[in-house]
Amino acid sequence: MVAFRFQIEGREKHIPGQYYELCIKDQSGVPHIRSYSIASSPDDESIEFGVQMLPGGKVSSHLSRMKIGEQIEVRGPLGTHFLWQPSKQLVLVAGGSGVVPFISILGHELTRNADHRAIHLFASAKTENTIPYLQEIREIEKQRSSFHFHPTLTRNTSSDWKGNIGRIDESFLKTHIDPTVPTKVYLCGNSSFVESLSQKLASLLPQAIIRKEYFN
């Protein structure tokens, strides 16, 4: 994953969980539009997107070739469903690049000084090197005592890894989440990941408000 930052003149301040559409035109004039979640905090001066670099990807390939100062067509901020809302306990569950919108949420939370609010980030990735924004997440761990990071690897090959191995399941969630306090849950990943965990979390936290975002 590669982070791209843009200065957008006169932009509307976004709410964590929103996204932008980026549009390019190929040599034939055919437009190609992709949606990218915002990784930056609303108070940042620029907008950051975490982009998965796909082989043959029209927009991601174009972004990789852009030079500082070049422009691209954007539309946003967009999205009204996956918006951050405060809660006594926030549970963020990400598969792969689904971590990106949670970086915006975490950055915003740090500015609010609400250290009493428990935040749990569960992140599933193939290997440690494929966890997006890992360094930034580790820094937030140091700054915020009520933030808890729970990564798990599905294809770990390193003997140095001391964390969880395997997929996120109900027992792994139950170990870390308090089911007795008001909770909002945000799920982001591919459709099978999101739907499977949505059912598990609904059973574990029957009173929780669950928001889902699909990355396909």
Domain 89-214 in this protein, CATH class: alpha beta
Q: Which two tokens stand for residue 5?
A: 């930052």
* CA-based nearest residue to 201, from 180, 186, 190: 186
Domain ranges in the chain are 2-78, 89-214
CATH of domain 2-78: 2.40.30.10
**188-203 burial code (b ≥16 CB/10 A, e <16):** bbeeebbebbbebbee
Per-residue pLDDT tens listing for the chain (216 residues): 899 999 998 889 999 999 999 999 988 889 999 999 999 999 899 999 999 988 888 999 999 999 999 999 999 999 998 998 888 899 999 999 999 999 999 988 877 765 568 999 999 999 999 999 999 999 999 988 889 999 999 987 677 888 889 999 888 999 999 999 889 999 999 999 999 999 999 988 988 899 999 986
Cβ neighbours, 10 Å, residue 88 = 13
